[in-house]
């Protein structure tokens, strides 16, 4: 039987255990429009039972708390869970995995996966999510994606992509296969939306810490990690849109995908 860590690819991504503080500091939040999506498209409101699956440090969980939902979080990585408890001490957090969710059947009105679904996208996780959802319950997937149509962001992405290898990522779209297959087995057709927003702060916070928080970079051998970060810092120092600035706005697109459980 596989362990929780194996289910979430953690042996392949040992960096997850190294980046909880950096992740919390370097990752952007979410645009205000997303709350309307959560309330209208996913029907999340006061005391709605919501599972935040792969909750990490709780960055997305805060939105659910703001909506006064009845939130249960599931997270397998101990250091991320520790940071979650510091950020949201009153919220229920359970050690578990997407392929073996430690909750009763038909106990959730909604399941959200923020920055996480690509890591555990599989037929088994889709079945488990289907199991814990009530009939008519919603599954929502969310990602903050850097807007590579901006020149310097594209250059930054090229640095990262050189070291991505075969690690599961949002960008490879492999997560869509089990999601689309799920439509044949009890889920409604997908609805998608995109919003633009900015992550503003010092270059150290919004660029350097953001890149350091990528799990496969955090797990890279020290010489390789040093090389990557030297290239990132050189881009910041030399690119005309970044050089000498004490505050930078990184352009993002938040992408949302929603489906509904339509069969028992």
Sequential DSSP letters for 181-201: HHHTTTBPPPEEEEEEEEEEE
Each residue of 235-260: b (16+ CB within 10 Å) or e?
A: bbeeeeebeeeeebebebbbebbbbb
Q: Decide if pLDDT at 7 tops 50.
A: no
240 located within any domain = no
33 located within any domain = yes
Q: Decide if pLDDT at 253 tops 50.
A: yes
Per-residue pLDDT tens digits for 147-160 = 999 999 999 999 99
217 located within any domain = no
117 located within any domain = yes
Write down the residue that tokens 């938040």 correspond to.
254
108 located within any domain = yes
State residue 17's pLDDT score: 44
The strand pair at 49-53 and 70-74 is best described as parallel
Cα 96 from chain centroid (whole Å):
16
Helix 176-183 / helix 123-132 crossing angle, nearest 10 deg: 50
In this prediction, residue 1 has a pLDDT band, given cuts at 50, 70 and 90, of very low
Per-residue pLDDT tens digits for 51-72 = 999 999 999 999 999 999 999 9
Q: Decide if pLDDT at 74 tops 90.
A: yes
94 located within any domain = yes
Structural domain including 50 reads 4-146+168-198+251-260
Global pTM value: 0.90
Residue whose C-alpha is closest to residue 130's, from 71, 52, 187: 187
Integer Cα distance of 36 and 80 in angstroms: 28
153 located within any domain = no
Q: Are 252 and 199 in contact (CB under 8 A)?
A: yes
CATH number for the domain including 43? 3.40.50.150
56 located within any domain = yes
Give the dihedral of Cα atoms 172, 178, 184, 190; nearest 10 deg.
-50
State residue 79's pLDDT score: 87
Query: How many domains does the structure of the chain reveal?
Result: 1
In this prediction, residue 38 has a pLDDT band, given cuts at 50, 70 and 90, of very high
In this prediction, residue 263 has a pLDDT band, given cuts at 50, 70 and 90, of confident
State residue 27's pLDDT score: 86
Residue whose C-alpha is closest to residue 246's, from 213, 203, 209, 188: 203
């Amino acid at each position: 039987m596989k362990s929780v860590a194996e289910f979430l690819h953690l042996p392949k991504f040992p960096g997850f255990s190294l980046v909880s503080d950096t992740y919390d500091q370097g990752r952007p939040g979410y645009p205000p429009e997303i709350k309307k999506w959560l309330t209208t498209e996913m029907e999340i409101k006061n005391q709605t039972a919501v599972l935040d699956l792969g909750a990490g440090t709780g960055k997305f969980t805060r939105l659910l708390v703001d909506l006064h939902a009845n939130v249960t979080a599931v997270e397998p990585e101990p250091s991320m869970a520790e940071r979650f408890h510091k950020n949201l001490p009153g919220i229920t957090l359970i050690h578990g995995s997407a392929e073996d969710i430690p909750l009763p059947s038909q106990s959730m009105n909604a399941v959200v996966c923020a920055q996480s679904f690509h890591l555990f996208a599989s037929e088994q996780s889709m079945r488990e999510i289907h199991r814990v959802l009530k009939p008519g319950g919603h599954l929502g997937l969310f990602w903050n994606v850097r807007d590579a149509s901006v020149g310097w962001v594209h250059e930054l992405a090229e640095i990262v992509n050189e070291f991505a290898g075969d690690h599961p990522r949002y960008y490879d779209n492999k997560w869509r296969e089990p999601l689309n297959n799920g439509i044949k087995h009890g889920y409604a057709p997908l609805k998608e939306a995109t919003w633009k927003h900015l992550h503003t702060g010092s270059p150290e916070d919004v660029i350097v810490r953001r890149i350091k928080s990528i799990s496969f970079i955090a797990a890279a051998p020290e010489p390789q990690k040093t090389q990557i970060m030297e290239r990132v810092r050189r881009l910041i120092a030399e690119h005309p849109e970044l050089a000498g600035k004490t505050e930078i706005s990184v352009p993002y697109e938040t992408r949302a995908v929603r489906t509904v459980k339509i069969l028992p």
